[in-house]
Amino acid sequence: MPGPGAGFAALLRRDLLLAWRRRGEVANPLIFFAMITALIPLAVGPEPSLLARLAPGMVWIMALLGTLLAADTLFREDFLDGALEFLVLSPQPLWLLVLARVVAHWLVTGVPITLLSPLLAALLALPGSGLPALVAGLGLGTLAFSLLGAVGGALTVALGGGNVLRPLLVLPLYVPVLIFGTAAVARAAAGGESAGALALLGAITALALLVSPFAAAAALRVGIDG
Q: Could you tell me the pLDDT band of residue 195, with boundaries at 50, 70 and 90?
A: very high
What pLDDT is attached to residue 2? 59
Can you give the residue range of the structural domain that contains 174? 4-225
Angle at 27 between CA 210 and CA 30, to 5 degrees: 70
What pLDDT is attached to residue 160? 54
| pLDDT tens per residue, range 27-66 | 777 788 788 877 888 877 778 888 888 888 888 988 888 8
| Separation of alpha carbons 32 and 203, rounded Å | 28
What pLDDT is attached to residue 225? 63
- Return all residues near 165 (Cβ < 8 A) that are at least 6 apart: 152, 155, 156, 159
- Based on the structure, what is the number of domains in the chain? 1
| Separation of alpha carbons 93 and 37, rounded Å | 40
**pTM for this entry:** 0.88
